């Protein structure tokens, strides 16, 4: 099947109750793109599992979703920078025991401590950046794959980001690793127990992380998180059932 057009993804309108009775795990859910996506998934009937290290942010989002009358979300405070494979295995076991299924996994959490020259990147900065942006998502995906493969029409959506420029250091390397993980998984999981795997590179977005790392930038010139989630919703929808291995870039030319 041909890949969908830019207009199809950016202009996607999700039908009411599109995610009714589905379970969606979202990392980096306390703020930014993750929070915007969680709100919309809940509005479409999905039960969201909200994972983030920011408990206060998760609780605020929980209250918003509950007050709106949407399915009650599940909070899972966890720091990808310090979590172990056992922590992810325990999460998957809890999902299985309490919910019995997992329909979608959105790997969205990210952390950029600083832009720095290659020669000046500290060991701590390198290790934390790789853990949060790549290693944690690898182990989480590995733990959740048995659940996803036992669920019809399951999917993984990854927040990618082209960052192979000067001073991007371990952040750029980790994001390149995620892009490779997307392609590897899409090939491996395109069998009998198919899980479709796609990615979204939104380009610059008006988030706290962007504002912190680009203090001289006029933040209002970048779109708010709510304005960039349509491609995620498309990849979570039945409309993308025949699509896997696509890494959509909102910044790339048509």
- Which CATH number is 50's domain given? 3.40.50.720
**Residue 49 is inside which H or E element, if any?**
strand 47-52
- What is the β-pairing status of strands 247-249 and 195-201? parallel
What's the domain range around 197?
Answer: 19-249
Residue 13 lies in a domain: no
Asked, for residue 160, whether it belongs to a domain, the answer is yes
Distances (CA, A) of 33 to 85, 195, 200: 25, 23, 11
Q: How far apart are CA 25 and CA 40, in angstroms?
A: 13
For the residues 20-29, what does the mean pLDDT come to?
A: 97
C-alpha to C-alpha distance for 40 and 60, rounded to whole angstroms:
15
In-domain check, residue 3: no
* Total number of domains in the chain: 1
Cβ 73 vs Cβ 65: under 8 Å: yes
Question: What does the pLDDT average to over 203-208?
Answer: 82
pLDDT single digits (tens) 221-245: 888 999 999 999 999 999 999 999 9
- Return the pLDDT at 254: 43
pLDDT tens-digit series, residues 166-195: 999 999 999 999 999 999 999 999 987 889
> 122-131 contacts: CB < 8 A, separation 24 or more?
125/169, 125/170, 126/169, 126/170, 128/81, 129/169, 129/170, 129/171, 129/174, 130/170, 130/173, 130/174, 131/80, 131/81, 131/82
Task: Give mean pLDDT, residues 41-58.
Answer: 98
On the 0-12 / 13-18 / 19+ scale of CB atoms within 10 A, 233 is buried
Judge whether 38 lies within some domain: yes
Average pLDDT over residues 149-157: 95
Q: Is the pLDDT of residue 1 over 80?
A: no
Question: Does some domain include residue 104?
Answer: yes
pLDDT at 30 over 60: yes
What pTM was computed for the model?
0.95
| Average pLDDT, integer, range 92-101 | 97
pLDDT of res. 253: 52
Confidence check: pLDDT of 127 > 60: yes
With cut-offs at 50, 70 and 90, classify the pLDDT of residue 212: confident
Q: What does residue 173 show for φ and ψ, rounded to 5 degrees? A: -65, -40
Phi, psi of 187 (to 5 degrees): -70, -45
User: 49 pLDDT exceeds 80?
Assistant: yes
Q: What is the mean pLDDT of residues 153-157?
A: 96
Q: Give me 4's structure tokens.
A: 């969908």
Q: Using alpha carbons, select from 138, 131, 107 the residue that is nearest to residue 29.
A: 107
Q: Provide the percentage of residues in the chain whose pLDDT is more than 90.
A: 84
Q: Is residue 235 part of a domain?
A: yes
Is residue 62 in a domain?
A: yes
In a domain, 12, yes or no: no
| 251 pLDDT above the threshold of 90 | no
- CA distances (Å), origin 104, targets 111, 151, 158, 218: 22, 9, 11, 35
């Amino acid at each position: 099947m041909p890949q969908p057009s830019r207009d199809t993804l950016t202009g996607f309108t999700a039908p009411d109750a599109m995610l009714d009775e589905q379970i969606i795990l979202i990392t980096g859910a306390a703020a930014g793109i993750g929070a915007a996506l969680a709100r919309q998934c809940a509005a479409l009937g999905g039960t969201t599992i909200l994972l983030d290290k920011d408990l206060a942010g998760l609780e605020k989002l929980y209250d918003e979703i509950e007050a709106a009358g949407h399915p009650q979300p599940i909070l899972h405070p966890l720091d990808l920078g310090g979590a172990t494979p056992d922590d992810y295995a325990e999460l998957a076991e809890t999902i299985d025991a309490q919910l019995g299924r997992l329909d979608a996994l959105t790997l969205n959490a990210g952390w950029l401590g600083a832009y720095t020259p290659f020669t000046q990147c500290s060991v701590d900065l390198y290790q934390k950046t790789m853990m949060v942006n790549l290693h944690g998502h690898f182990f989480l995906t590995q733990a959740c794959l048995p659940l996803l493969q036992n669920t019809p029409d399951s999917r993984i959506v990854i927040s990618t980001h082209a960052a192979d420029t000067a001073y991007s250091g371990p952040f750029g390397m980790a994001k390149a690793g995620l892009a490779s993980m997307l392609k590897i998984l899409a090939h491996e999981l395109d069998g009998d127990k198919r899980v479709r795997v796609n990615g979204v590179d939104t380009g610059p977005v008006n988030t706290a992380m962007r504002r912190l790392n680009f203090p001289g930038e006029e933040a209002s010139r970048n779109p708010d998180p709510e304005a960039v989630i349509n491609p995620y919703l498309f990849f979570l929808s039945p409309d993308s059932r025949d699509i896997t291995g696509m890494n959509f870039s909102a910044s790339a030319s048509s």
